[in-house]
Amino acid sequence: MVRPHLRLHPPHEPPVPRPAATVVLVRDGAQGLEVLMTRRSAHARFAPGAYVFPGGAIDADDHTDAPHPAIAWRPEQAAGDRPALLAAVRECFEELGVLLARDAAGRWVAPDTVAALDRHAPLLPQCAARGLTLAADTLGWLARWITDRDLPIRFDVAFFVAPMPPGQTPIADDREQFEPVWITPTEALQRHAAGALPMVFPTVRTLEHLRRYADSAALLAECARHRGPPWTSCPRAGWLHGQEARFMEHEAPYGELALTCPDGQLAHMLDWRHDAPVALARHVQRLTAPNPGPMTGPGTNSYLVGEPDTGHVVIDPGPDEPAHLQRLFDATAGDIRAIVCTHSHPDHAPGAKPLQALCAAAGRAVPPVLGLPSGPTARPTSHFRPDRALADGERLTLTTGDGTVRHTLRVLHTPGHAANHLCLVLEEDGLLFSGDHILNGSTTVIDPPDGDMDAYLASLQRLRAACDSDRIEFILPAHGYVLGDAPRAIERLHAHRLQREAKIARVLATHPTGDLDLWVRHAYDDVPPHLWPVAKRSLLAHVLRLRGHAP
């Protein structure tokens, strides 16, 4: 965790979420799966006027002792989930007059029986008096949403899915909910995009998930298999293109928002900038070089570590781009103590010597260029010789005027993407500068002979171990946003590589006399064809690994 005094924003405690539940009622229409949505009151404290699924807060009465004669549960429905399940059933009845219940004969409750119940009186006693059993056993887990930290009112909401009882017609209470409508997820999203159907972020993302299902049977069968929420999300918000933008944990900007605004402050700008540095902490800045492209994404990230009273280390100065190098110089006020190149590729290292010369021309102390020299396997465009070669495990320190060490960067030699690749750990804060070894939004290319898949996977495992020993939470890659939950990010990347390798092995077994052009069509059929020339390099690295590096 970044040291508290070096965080960008003062810490504050977000509001505690209130437990709540909602149920997505589904049926099949002419266009396939349909969901029941309703419009919230324009005077509601939370999401006024938004279209939602029926639901609300979990009340004290929802915490009933089990078993209860008027409630049917499935054996696998955990006792801890039962208040949420009961709240979802109750709120559905109170808001829309739809009752998930069976009569004494085990049939869905008749519409006239539902109409005779009082929607504003306690539900369980009414059901018990009429011999009805609430069909909580028909609900399946869909997701768990926790309201964003930046919002003043927050809920921890269990999302369930259930079939619409036959014969019943939803009728809004016209107090909390209005205008119930059956709609396909696709149409709802289209109307939302056109501005005709206002919705909050979790509703939008839930609909995006639901549109994968062709009919209600497939959805209900899938949800019935889950003993708990298949995924939980507490989104984070930032600014993108001048508007609030929210993101789930698996999306690229999430980790950066967790680093810069850990308590949910709505403050961080996510637009890629090449004209000025972006602060990630008080002592860490990112300046992205103006070299966007298919292989570099938004551009190569140069990182500045340090403060005015310690000087700075520049990590990956990028290409020899004079305007970019001048911005690096200006952002550090020319006080650069070292220039470190994570490896020798042409979008990372060529700016090192010109930046060094810029310091000299300004009469500042000349910082050494540090890194590992390129080897004989490197391509001619990746030739690199540092002023001094770094040793694995070496520590680079930035100190105050009295000699107090303020920031410590430890070197980790991580060959794989390139033979001379290294990563840096900012020890005091648990930050990993990963160069090209780990990227956000894509997997790095392993290009033999300088790239080696065995070495790459071994380096990944080393970085995963470093997450534990150094309490690394965030990864700052050379391309893309900051990655959060560093241990899981590395585990997912390692698993992805092995899954790809298993697919390649099957292709080789099926086409043993094929060549790279044939193999890439089958092994990377989930990748756009225009990327196959690049994918062939990593494919070759996997083939060499599978064949024991035999030619």
Q: Please state the pTM of the whole predicted model.
A: 0.93
Question: Hey, what are 455's tokens?
Answer: 């070495």
> How many Cα neighbours within 13 Å face the side chain of 446?
24
Averaged confidence pLDDT in the chain = 95
Helices (H), 388-531: 453-469, 486-510, 516-523
Strand 55-57, strand 51-52: pairing? unpaired
Taking Cα atoms as reference points, which of 481, 461, 484 lies closest to residue 1?
484
**pLDDT at residue 45, rounded to an integer:** 81
**pLDDT at residue 46, rounded to an integer:** 82
**pLDDT at residue 95, rounded to an integer:** 95
Q: Does the pLDDT of residue 228 top 90, yes or no?
A: yes
Mean local confidence (pLDDT), 533-546: 96
Asked whether the beta carbons of 68 and 136 are under 8 A apart, the reply is no
pLDDT tens for each residue of 22-68? 999 999 999 999 999 999 988 888 888 999 999 999 999 899 866 78
Mean local confidence (pLDDT), 489-509: 97
**pLDDT at residue 163, rounded to an integer:** 97
Cα→Cα distances 414→296, 452, 458, Å = 20, 11, 8
CA dihedral (258, 81, 189, 180) in degrees, to 10, reads: -140
The percent of residues in the chain predicted with pLDDT above 90, rounded, is: 92
Q: Does the pLDDT of residue 87 top 90, yes or no?
A: yes
How far is residue 59's CA from residue 87's CA, in Å, rounded to a whole number? 7
**pLDDT at residue 69, rounded to an integer:** 86
Q: Does the pLDDT of residue 489 top 70, yes or no?
A: yes
How far is residue 367's CA from residue 356's CA, in Å, rounded to a whole number? 6
**pLDDT at residue 551, rounded to an integer:** 43
Asked whether the beta carbons of 310 and 335 are under 8 A apart, the reply is no
How far is residue 466's CA from residue 493's CA, in Å, rounded to a whole number? 15
DSSP symbols for 97-140: ----EE-TTSSBPPHHHHHTS-TTS-HHHHHHHTT-EE-GGG-E
Cβ count within 10 A of residue 167: 11
How far is residue 119's CA from residue 168's CA, in Å, rounded to a whole number? 15
The strand pairing partners of 101, in sequence order, are 134
**pLDDT at residue 176, rounded to an integer:** 84
Give the three-state DSSP class for 77.
coil
Per-residue burial over 356-388, b if 16 or more Cβ lie within 10 Å, else e, is bebbeeeeeeebebbbbebeeebeeebebebee
**pLDDT at residue 158, rounded to an integer:** 97
**pLDDT at residue 175, rounded to an integer:** 87
Helices (H), 43-110: 82-96
Mean local confidence (pLDDT), 240-245: 96
Q: Does the pLDDT of residue 406 top 50, yes or no?
A: yes
Q: Does the pLDDT of residue 184 top 90, yes or no?
A: yes
Mean local confidence (pLDDT), 368-379: 96
Per-residue burial over 88-121, b if 16 or more Cβ lie within 10 Å, else e, is bbbbbbbbbbbbbbbeeeeebbeeeebeebebee
DSSP 71: B
Confidence of residue 378 (pLDDT cuts 50, 70, 90): very high
Q: Does the pLDDT of residue 369 top 70, yes or no?
A: yes
**pLDDT at residue 404, rounded to an integer:** 95
Confidence of residue 167 (pLDDT cuts 50, 70, 90): very high
Asked whether the beta carbons of 163 and 27 are under 8 A apart, the reply is yes
> How many Cα neighbours within 13 Å face the side chain of 150?
18
pLDDT tens for each residue of 327-368? 999 999 999 999 999 999 999 999 999 999 999 999 999 999
**pLDDT at residue 550, rounded to an integer:** 47
DSSP symbols for 9-38: S---PPPPPEEEEEEEEEEEETTEEEEEEE
**pLDDT at residue 125, rounded to an integer:** 93
Mean local confidence (pLDDT), 1-17: 93
Give the three-state DSSP class for 303.
strand
Phi/psi-derived region of residue 222, left when phi > 0, alpha when psi is between -120 and 50, beta in every other case: alpha
**pLDDT at residue 66, rounded to an integer:** 63
pLDDT tens for each residue of 414-435? 999 999 999 999 999 999 999 9
Burial label for 529, CB within 10 Å (0-12, 13-18, 19+), is exposed
How far is residue 413's CA from residue 423's CA, in Å, rounded to a whole number? 6
Tallying the residues shown for the chain, one arrives at 551
